[in-house]
Amino acid sequence: MYVFKAAVVGAGTMGGEIAQVIASSGIPVVLKDMKQEFVETGLTKAREVTEAQLKGLVDKEKITREQADTQLGEVTGRITGTTEYEGFGDVDFVVEAVPERIQIKQAVFAELDEVTPGHAILASNTSSLAISRMAEATSRPDRVVGFHFFYPASMMRLIEVIEGEETSEETLQTATTFAQQVRKTPIRCGEGPGFVVNRILISAVSEVWRATHEGGLDVKEVDKVIQESGTAPIGPFYLTDLLGLDTVLHVAEHLHESYGERFFVSPAMKELVQTGDLGQKTGKGFYEHG
Ligand SMILES: NC(=O)c1ccc[n+]([C@@H]2O[C@H](COP(=O)([O-])OP(=O)(O)OC[C@H]3O[C@@H](n4cnc5c(N)ncnc54)[C@H](O)[C@@H]3O)[C@@H](O)[C@H]2O)c1
């Protein structure tokens, strides 16, 4: 099945950029969140990313300033914001990007089942949760699939296409082709907690969280050493601030529940989430953000 029109639910850290990726590949997309201000945040993010990409092309003299202005209008013109499910009646593919809580995701999948055409594929950007649990909330479990972008979605090439218990081969094929249509590299994986990338990444980062906690180390010093040694481009605590502390905490807790002690849940992160300091998106996490 070819995707002529798509939708994204949740316009937060991931949703705005996912809509941008889809729109810049020439596909119209509806972006939904619960409040207009959240929709606007996603639309602004999509615009800023497009501007930065086009500026790069102008600077390298690949396109002219006039062409960049035209393309900016075309890409942003393909994204329609909504707080209702307006425009979902003729979509072919939906990417859900709401918070990493199974109850929230199941409620959204039940709503999507009502408002989208029967042929539409309902995909989740979940970082760790079981696709089959979301599929249970719908009447089309064969058309539910994982479609996991990485942060920042406009730059990272990989998409994990995750197979739930009842996901059909046709759905997996459409999701794989759609990932290529939006110029990404799909890999297929099973729905084990954390899938492939987060199971590896969080396992490594988990040890850093554990060592920092047990040794009473300063998070900024830890980040500095990791970055300056060339082990990673940015330190794990700063990265967590960018990803969103609540999202990372939910993933870490889910991996701890699933795999036991080898996945550590950082008490410092838990404390910050309890006080509402979620990282860059709220202005403060392990770091202060301007
Ligand atoms: N942050 C990351 O780096 C990252 C990377 C890959 C995947 N993910 C996954 O993507 C998903 C979203 O994460 P995020 O970091 O963008 O979260 P976020 O908290 O930044 O954004 C979630 C958005 O969903 C909205 N929302 C909540 N309930 C909704 C509903 N019923 N209908 C419409 N919108 C609703 C919220 O208002 C918010 O704007 C999660 O499953 C997460 O695990 C996150």
Tell me: the pLDDT tens digits for 249-288? 999 999 999 999 999 999 999 999 999 999 999 999 999 9
72 C-alpha to ligand 1 centroid (Å): 25
Segment 199-240, tens digit of pLDDT: 999 999 999 999 999 999 999 999 999 999 998 899 999 999
Q: Which residue has the tokens 């990338």?
A: 197
Q: Is 159 helix (H, G, I), strand (E, B) or coil?
A: strand
pLDDT at 241: 97
Half-sphere CA count of 152, side-chain side, radius 13 A? 11
CA distance between the termini of the chain: 44
Q: Give the number of other CB atoms < 10 A from CB of residue 207.
A: 14
Is the Cβ atom of 281 under 6 angstroms away from ligand 1? yes
Which residue lies with its CA nearest to atom 21 of ligand 1? 12
- Sketch out the chain's domains with CATH numbers: 6-190 (3.40.50.720), 197-282 (1.10.1040.10)
Is the Cβ atom of 99 under 6 angstroms away from ligand 1? yes
Is the Cβ atom of 266 under 6 angstroms away from ligand 1? no
Dist CA 198 CA 193 (whole Å)? 9
